[in-house]
């Protein structure tokens, strides 16, 4: 049996332990993948800092691209788009493997599957330790939706697909029609910049990125935003850019309670606010119920995504790569042995996504 170097999370504020773990041969519907790269998502940083709870011991990292090493006897032979899958294919996969049968799977929420395996978030179980991206190998569970990656997409562009990009695809799907609409995007981190590009490609009339950091505002303009403003400019910009009524859609990607409180008043009648960023506990917020009713507003919460959103995400990256500088959003890269340096670099706000590759 081969072994795989893995960075193991034990508890917050403690260094990840680098040690070798046995690599199991895939059985049944499992697929063994060699990890080519894994980008550090905000939730990995929050886990390590203790801001959010995550099971331990575990291998963190879920924004993964890998290469198929071996398919179990009943593993899928086709990806989500129907393309044939085989050894050597470069793939990514949905963040949650789902059973297809439980209460939530039957309600089109496979990301909340009661029997789900969530990559980068699973406590060690014998033979199933390698479920995260911060290792040389990853064992995919039965029920994992895979997507074969087009050769033209470099690792830098495609690595965040199965969290950041697919979550933005799910958020825009929850927002309803985008073509010709006015869209506000709160927060220009990895998700916000991706959302600017996706809204622009879908034909939004106006894309307003709201972000305190001036460097990120400049990036937002390069990624498809028509306006990039500081938070205190939102009310005036939303009124001017919509010629009066307010914005059709606002995506809240920053997780800041204050951002929410500035966001819902700038929606037009019938507008939709999609909440994505608040994935850790925060203070309660004030909202007028009467305003939601009289202005026919819709509030949607979106956490993770379904496999169909991952397919949309990879298609988006194919179209957006070359048109927007998505490559510059990812980096620097570190070898797995230097995972501690990778986490340190990821805490620098200049780095939207730091990568670890083997």
Binding residue (CB under 5 A) for Zn ion from 23, 71, 105, 161: 105
Query: From the CB of 103, what's the least distance to Zn ion, in Å?
Result: 8
Q: Does 94 bind Zn ion (CB under 5 A)?
A: no
* Minimal distance, residue 95 CB to Zn ion, in Å: 7
**Helices and strands counted in the chain (H then E):** 10, 18
| Cα distance between residue 150 and residue 148, in whole Å | 7
CA 174: distance to chain centroid? 15
Q: Which CB atom, from 112 or from 318, has the smaller least distance to Zn ion?
A: 112
Minimum CB distance to Zn ion smaller for 168 or for 206: 168
| Residue number with CB closer to Zn ion (26 or 116) | 116
Question: According to CB under 5 A, which residues from 23 to 62 bind Zn ion?
Answer: 41, 43
- Least CB distance to Zn ion at residue 65 (A): 14
How far apart are the C-alpha atoms of 5 and 358, rounded to whole Å?
10
- CA torsion sign, 74 to 79 to 82 to 83? negative
User: Interface with Zn ion includes 99 (CB under 5 A)?
Assistant: yes
Binding segment for Zn ion (CB under 5 A), chosen from 22-30, 107-115, 129-137, 221-229, is 107-115
SS3 223: coil
| Separation between Cα atoms, residue 221 and residue 223, nearest integer Å | 5
Residues in the chain: 358
- Please identify, among the stretches 15-23, 96-104, 303-311, 318-326, the one whose residues bind Zn ion according to the rule CB under 5 A: 96-104
CB of 112 to Zn ion, least distance (A): 8
166 binding Zn ion? (CB under 5 A): no
Kindly indicate which of the ranges 111-119, 230-238, 266-274, 318-326 contains the residues binding Zn ion, using the contact rule CB under 5 A. 111-119
Cβ-proximal residues to 267 (8 Å cutoff; 6+ apart), any chain: 246, 247, 248, 250, 273, 295, 297
The rounded distance, in Å, linking the Cα atoms of 121 and 269 is: 39
Nearest CA to 204 out of 222, 224, 174, 230 is that of: 224
Quote the crossing angle between the two packed helices 42-49 and 339-346, to the nearest 10°.
100
Q: Which of 219, 236, 171 is nearest to 228 (CA)?
A: 219
Nearer to Zn ion, 60 or 186 (CB): 60
| Among 65, 149, 163, 253, contact with Zn ion (rule: CB under 5 A) | 163
Q: Is 113 a binder of Zn ion (CB under 5 A)?
A: yes
Tokens of 169: 């695809």
Count of positions on this chain that bind Zn ion (CB under 5 A): 8
- Give the shortest CB-120-to-Zn ion separation in angstroms: 8
Dist. CA 266–CA 240, nearest whole Å: 11
From CA 30, how far away is CA 284, in angstroms rounded?
42
**102 belongs to the binding site for Zn ion (CB under 5 A):** yes
Shortest Å distance, C-beta 279 to Zn ion: 9
| Nearest to Zn ion of 31, 276 (CB atom) | 276
Pick the piece of the chain touching Zn ion (CB under 5 A) from 94-102, 147-155, 202-210, 315-323: 94-102
**Stretch of residues binding Zn ion (CB under 5 A), selected from 20-28, 103-111, 318-326, 340-348:** 103-111
Does 169 sit near Zn ion (CB under 5 A)?
no
Cα atoms in the 13 Å half-sphere on the side-chain side of 108: 5
Between 113 and 174, CB nearer to Zn ion? 113
CB of 251 to Zn ion, least distance (A): 16
Taking CA atoms, 327 is separated from 222, 266, 312, in Å, by 12, 32, 19
**Residue 98 engages Zn ion in binding (rule: CB under 5 A):** yes
Residues that bind Zn ion (CB under 5 A): 41, 43, 98-99, 102, 105, 113, 163
């Amino acid at each position: 049996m081969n072994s795989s170097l893995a960075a193991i999370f034990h508890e917050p504020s403690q260094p990840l332990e680098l040690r070798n773990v046995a690599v199991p041969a895939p059985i049944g519907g499992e697929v063994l993948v060699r990890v080519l790269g894994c980008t550090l998502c905000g939730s990995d940083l929050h886990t390590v800092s203790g801001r959010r709870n995550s099971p331990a011991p575990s291998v963190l990292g879920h924004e993964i691209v890998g290469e198929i090493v071996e398919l179990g006897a009943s593993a899928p032979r086709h990806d989500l788009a129907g393309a044939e899958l085989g050894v050597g294919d470069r793939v990514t996969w949905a963040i949650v493997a789902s059973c297809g049968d439980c209460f939530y799977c039957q309600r089109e929420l496979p990301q909340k599957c009661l029997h789900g395996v969530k990559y980068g978030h699973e406590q060690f179980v014998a033979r199933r330790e390698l479920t995260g991206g911060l290792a040389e190998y990853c064992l995919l569970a039965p029920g994992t939706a895979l997507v074969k990656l087009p050769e033209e997409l470099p690792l830098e562009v495609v690595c965040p697909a199965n969290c950041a990009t697919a979550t933005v695809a799910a958020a825009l799907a929850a927002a309803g029609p985008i073509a010709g609409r006015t869209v506000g995007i709160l927060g220009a981190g990895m998700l916000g910049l991706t959302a600017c590009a996706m809204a622009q490609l879908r034909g939004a009339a106006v894309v307003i990125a709201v972000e305190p950091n001036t460097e990120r505002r400049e990036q937002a303009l390069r990624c498809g935003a028509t306006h990039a403003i500081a938070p205190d400019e939102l009310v005036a910009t939303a009124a001017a850019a919509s010629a009066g009524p307010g914005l059709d859609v606002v995506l809240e990607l920053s997780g800041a309670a204050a951002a929410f409180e500035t966001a819902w008043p700038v929606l037009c009648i019938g507008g939709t606010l999609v909440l994505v960023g608040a994935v850790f506990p925060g203070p309660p917020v004030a909202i007028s119920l009467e305003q939601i009713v009289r202005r026919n507003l819709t509030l949607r919460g979106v956490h993770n995504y379904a496999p169909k959103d991952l397919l949309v995400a990879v298609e988006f990256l194919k179209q957006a790569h070359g048109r927007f500088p998505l490559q510059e959003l990812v980096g620097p890269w570190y070898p797995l042995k230097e995972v501690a340096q990778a986490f340190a670099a990821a805490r620098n706000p200049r780095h939207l996504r730091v990568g670890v590759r083997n």
